[in-house]
């Protein structure tokens, strides 16, 4: 049992699988972005090269920083992502929900953001702390809509909060995305994960051109490598979560695997298109968008779900 747990955590739905798939999908992101700009784009293994290179660089700890926090933040965030990917993966691929439910997942996702905020503000750099502040505001902005769409999935599954139960209900009665409330929640979820992954148009916290990568500015060497890996791991975690909550999960026969891969690729490609066709918005317009537009729409979806539509 415990050996199986270790396998889950370190190999299949967890660390190794998520990292390798994430870095490969990261290549798709860079390649498609390059094609959008009529470029050739990087080779397939580029993200792996970058990661290995960063592991071998010198780590500089800024003298004015809070050293322990500065070094711990990327690894805490990484550990959180490994836990999250295991939770989602076990529910998706093994249909077991013994590890935790949707609320645990929401908390873990929040701890990731908090690690980023703490890491950014521990450096003692002005731009980093600006980026950390913006990260807090983004968390306030997207969390509300995100929690509401998670609630939509819970309500539609007959008030079940387990991840595996939500998937099982959809396997039995058809995916939630086929109903009006499900499709609204799915689309809002797509925008929320764009914000949670800090992709354009919501890369406000890490705006390269104004606050030089924000919280990551002072990081170098292995800690930076882990931030880099974290970013790409989210390319698997969030689309998997959306599929699990709204799009019917995963069935292990031949056609099911193909279906699942197609759904996953579709979500990723939509994210990349959104990323490449929208310029970065200001922090106040992002807040306004999430509170005035995304929040009421997801609330309507929740009401529809409660009414059973």
- If phi > 0 it is left, if psi is from -120 to 50 it is alpha, else beta; for residue 61 that is beta
Measured from the CB atom, the residue of 220 and 251 that comes closer to other proteins is 220
In the list 49, 98, 103, 107, the residue contacting other proteins (rule: CB under 8 A) is 49
Structure tokens at 144: 């509300």
In the list 71, 87, 152, 224, the residue contacting other proteins (rule: CB under 8 A) is 224
CB of 211 vs other proteins, minimal distance in Å: 9
In angstroms, the CA 199 to CA 185 distance is 20
In the list 116, 217, 229, 272, the residue contacting other proteins (rule: CB under 8 A) is 217
Size of the site for other proteins (CB under 8 A): 30
Binding to other proteins (CB under 8 A) within 4-43 occurs at 30, 34, 37-43
Counting Cα atoms < 13 Å in the Cβ hemisphere of 138 gives 31
- If one asks whether residue 108 binds other proteins (CB under 8 A), the answer comes out as no
CB of 184 vs other proteins, minimal distance in Å: 37
Measured from the CB atom, the residue of 65 and 85 that comes closer to other proteins is 65
Measured from the CB atom, the residue of 34 and 136 that comes closer to other proteins is 34
CB of 227 vs other proteins, minimal distance in Å: 10
Measured from the CB atom, the residue of 85 and 203 that comes closer to other proteins is 203
In the list 28, 32, 144, 212, the residue contacting other proteins (rule: CB under 8 A) is 212
CB of 49 vs other proteins, minimal distance in Å: 4
In the list 11, 57, 68, 107, the residue contacting other proteins (rule: CB under 8 A) is 57
Contacts 24+ apart (CB under 8 A), 117-122: 117/215, 118/69, 118/73, 119/69, 119/70, 119/73, 119/74, 119/77, 119/215, 119/219, 119/227, 120/214, 120/215, 120/216, 121/215, 122/65, 122/66, 122/69, 122/70, 122/73
Site string for other proteins, 140-159 (x = CB under 8 A): --------------------
Instruction: Summarize as ranges the residues that interact with other proteins (CB under 8 A).
Output: 30, 34, 37-43, 46, 49-50, 52-53, 56-60, 208-209, 212-213, 216-221, 224
């Amino acid at each position: 049992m415990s050996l199986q747990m270790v396998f889950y955590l370190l190999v299949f739905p967890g660390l190794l699988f998520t990292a390798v798939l994430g870095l490969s999908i990261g290549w798709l992101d860079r390649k498609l972005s390059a094609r959008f700009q009529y470029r050739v784009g990087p080779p397939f293994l580029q993200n792996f090269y970058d990661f290995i290179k960063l592991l071998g660089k010198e780590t500089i700890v800024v003298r004015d920083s809070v050293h322990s926090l500065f070094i711990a933040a990327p690894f805490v965030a990484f550990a959180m992502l490994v836990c999250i990917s295991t939770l989602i993966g076990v529910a998706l691929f093994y249909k077991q929900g013994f590890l935790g439910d949707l609320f645990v997942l929401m908390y873990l996702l929040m701890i990731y953001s908090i690690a980023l905020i703490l890491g950014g503000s521990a450096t003692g750099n002005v731009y980093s702390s600006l980026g950390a502040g913006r990260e807090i505001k983004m968390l306030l902005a997207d969390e509300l809509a995100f929690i509401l769409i998670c609630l939509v999935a819970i309500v539609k599954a007959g008030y079940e909060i387990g991840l595996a139960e939500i998937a099982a209900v959809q396997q039995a009665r058809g995916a939630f995305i086929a109903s009006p409330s499900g499709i609204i929640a799915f689309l809002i979820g797509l925008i929320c994960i764009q914000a949670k992954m800090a992709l354009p148009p919501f890369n406000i916290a890490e705006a390269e051109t104004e606050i030089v990568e924000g919280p990551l500015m002072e990081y170098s060497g292995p800690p930076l490598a882990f931030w880099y890996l974290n970013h790409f791991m989210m390319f698997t975690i969030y689309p998997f979560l959306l599929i699990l909550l709204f799009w019917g999960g995963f069935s292990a026969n031949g056609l099911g695997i193909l279906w699942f891969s197609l759904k996953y690729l579709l979500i990723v490609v939509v994210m990349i298109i959104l990323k490449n066709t929208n310029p970065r918005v200001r922090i106040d317009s992002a807040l306004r968008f999430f509170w005035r537009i995304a929040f009421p729409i997801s609330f309507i979806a929740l009401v529809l779900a409660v009414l059973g539509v």
